[in-house]
Amino acid sequence: MAARTLRIGLIPGDGIGREVIPAGRRILEALPKSLGLNFSFVDLEAGFETFQKTGVALPDKTVDTLKKECDGALFGAVSSPSTPTKGYSSPIVALRKRLDLYANVRPVKSVKNTTMFPDPIDLVIVRENTEDLYVKEEKTYDTEHGKVAEAIKRISERASHRIATMAGDIALRRQRVRESTGQTGKSALVTITHKSNVLSQTDGLFRSTAREALAQSQFKGLEVDEQIVDSMVYKLFRQPQTYDVIVAPNLYGDILSDGAAALVGSLGLVPSANVGEGFAIGEPCHGSAPDIQGQNIANPIATLRSVALMLEFLNEEKAAALIYKAVDANLEEGKYLSPDMGGQAKTTEVVEDILRRM
């Protein structure tokens, strides 16, 4: 069989993104040739630093290259100003929209040494990626009582249907993996998260459409339940082992997935993938962390797991499994842990240890 060559766009972004994305490239280059995979890379620009230099946060060249030349990409992190900056908006949000990467998939998995919970945590949060309050349609106006700011919350039937369908597909795939490895006691489950008791039209549409999508014949045998988002937060932190796949609108998914990172030790461990039809961008869930930039202490594991997650959605599950196994072994041994995990290892030392295990 001829080797498959994947062209991967590398977008470090800002801050520690410039330290962890090169680590992701090294992991891809270290995959055994027996897997039949080759990689080529293209360096691309986006982020607040790019905006400061050029006046554009997401250059057209970056988007065009991803569309025309790349099979997938890795995105590092973005620094966003805390006050409004004329002409600037988040490049990763824009990238998701321009490439129609409608799903943000965030696995949350514990291994020994990373969680206070006695039982393992292994769940996935599937976040709708293109709408909700993130359509960024806001306005501020004056009234006799002072300024008023408003934001549009947009929920569509189309977006809700396809994100729920992806969540169902992921739940069934996870179940197949569990069965193939002899794991019992957990069935495929999708939990729909919403606030339709208050937002009856927007969240109500998300809830009803998700239920319709998951009632399709392809999901026969799949369990479906639902949870009001505030109750979801409580139960997620009290009993995370009961969840399998959680599907949510954009804002709730963003909050839940960052909060869930605390369950497994650190944001520096949690990967994500922005997924559309035939394209995936791996993206660690942490921010640009300017306070530790350039000190070689950033945790690279979220990026390395994001590399594996990208490969999963590019149908290279064997390569992904090899990376996951090496990362888990690093964490279980606990000899090389970065400072956010209570260790003293440098970024490069963590990467070298994982490379040895591969």
Per-residue confidence at 172, pLDDT binned at 50, 70, 90? very high
Q: Provide the token pair at 142.
A: 């004056």
C-alpha to C-alpha distance for 222 and 317, rounded to whole angstroms: 23
CB-based contact 292:4 (threshold 8 Å): no
21-54 pLDDT per residue, tens: 999 999 999 999 999 999 999 999 999 999 999 9
pLDDT at 235 over 80: yes
Residues 222-234, mean pLDDT to the nearest whole number: 96
What are the start and end residues of each CATH 3.40.718.10 domain in the chain?
Answer: 1-106+266-358, 115-264
Run of H or E including 148: strand 146-151
Q: What's residue 1's pLDDT? A: 61
Class for the domain spanning 1-106+266-358: alpha beta
SS3 112: coil
Most confident stretch, 86-90, 178-182, 209-213, 330-334 = 209-213
Lowest mean pLDDT of 119-123, 272-276, 329-333, name the range. 119-123
Q: What's residue 164's pLDDT? A: 98
Q: Provide the token pair at 283.
A: 């993206």
SS3 175: helix
C-alpha to C-alpha distance for 258 and 251, rounded to whole angstroms: 11
CB-based contact 11:73 (threshold 8 Å): yes
C-alpha to C-alpha distance for 46 and 56, rounded to whole angstroms: 8
Domain 115-264 architecture: 3-Layer(aba) Sandwich (3.40)
pLDDT at 82 over 80: no
C-alpha to C-alpha distance for 248 and 194, rounded to whole angstroms: 7
